[in-house]
Amino acid sequence: MRGVQVGMETALERYLPLPSSVPQRLHEAMHYAVLDGGKRVRPLLAFAAGALFEAEDAELARAAAAVEMIHAYSLVHDDMPCMDDDALRRGKPTVHVRYDEATALLVGDALQSQAFEVLADGRLPPQRQLAMVRVLAQASGSRGMCGGQAIDLASVGRNLSRDELERMHRMKTGALLRASVLLGALAGKALSAHETQALDAYAAAVGLAFQVVDDVLDATADSATLGKTAGKDAADNKPTYVSILGLEASRELAERLRMDAHRALEQFGEQARHLRDIADLIVQRKA
């Protein structure tokens, strides 16, 4: 999977506007926001899902780049002073610290447009390419990632039930992880309702596991390992799985979700091994 991560840097760079092109400062900041950092979980998911149906690498790289640009834009905006006000991301100063707030705002806005431009410019049958644009747009918007972020903001200092917390995460991070899986699979072929359902179940389990593990790491790891400020959720009085369930039950939940993810893939056989590996990787990661 290291190969996907290295190849992904090349693909992301290719699908961004040249940093030497006008407006240079904005383009440089877009590169700064996207390149040379991150675990690339969404591209990994897209490539692993593409392997189910023998999707071509070029089309997978395009889909993965689009979804990673959406993710990168959301981080730039989330880090801004009016949101999480974070100064460190992936071990580097955040975009509004390195550049300025107005540039960070525009970097996020322009990366979102770029994601749709890249995706709409693919070489797959137009019907399928259009379906991919719809999947990405739904996952990004007010009933997906942005909506989850809004619920997250409104929940600071409140007591959320476990169901409320789960819904928030299903939108805030789950929606885009699901889109990564579906986009990768759609790069291979049009999906049956049955296949979509199985991939949804997998993505739901992996997405939630990802968040539970994030909460565990935020409570237990240090900033240097994470490449971002640790212990921030507790300091911000944000509800987390650890604050609701406790540390040990959160670890058990992550493990159960890992098994759910494996079970959802049963119909796909050996072709699904990359997706299985990612579920393991997400739950067993240390940062």
Question: Which residues contribute to the site for a copy of itself (CB under 8 A)?
Answer: 17, 21-23, 25-27, 30, 73-74, 77, 80, 82-83, 100-103, 105-106, 108-110, 112-114, 116-117, 120-121, 125-127, 129-130, 133-134, 136-138, 140-144, 146-147, 149-151, 153-154
Report d(CA 232, CA 127) in Å as an integer: 44
Q: Is the peptide bond before 19 cis (omega within 30 degrees of 0)?
A: no
Residue 206: which H helix or E strand, with range? Answer: helix 193-220
3-state secondary structure of 80: coil
Rounded least distance, CB 164 to a copy of itself, Å: 11
Rounded least distance, CB 213 to a copy of itself, Å: 25
Shorter beta-carbon distance to a copy of itself: residue 27 or 40: 27
In the block, which residue shows the tokens 């007591």? 159
Shorter beta-carbon distance to a copy of itself: residue 17 or 227: 17
Shorter beta-carbon distance to a copy of itself: residue 93 or 141: 141
Structure tokens at 264: 């959802």
Report d(CA 199, CA 279) in Å as an integer: 13
Structure tokens at 101: 């707030």
**Residue 188: Cβ within 10 Å count:** 19
* Cα separation values, 162 from 175, 240, 244, 253, Å: 18, 9, 7, 12
Rounded least distance, CB 131 to a copy of itself, Å: 8
Rounded least distance, CB 222 to a copy of itself, Å: 28
Rounded least distance, CB 238 to a copy of itself, Å: 14
Rounded least distance, CB 29 to a copy of itself, Å: 9
Report d(CA 47, CA 60) in Å as an integer: 6
Q: Quick one: which of 165, 166, 201 has its CA closest to 181?
A: 201
Report d(CA 28, CA 99) in Å as an integer: 10
3-state secondary structure of 92: strand
Rounded least distance, CB 105 to a copy of itself, Å: 6
Shorter beta-carbon distance to a copy of itself: residue 46 or 179: 179
Shorter beta-carbon distance to a copy of itself: residue 80 or 198: 80
Burial of 128 (0-12, 13-18, 19+ CB in 10 A): middle
Shorter beta-carbon distance to a copy of itself: residue 9 or 164: 164
Shorter beta-carbon distance to a copy of itself: residue 26 or 221: 26
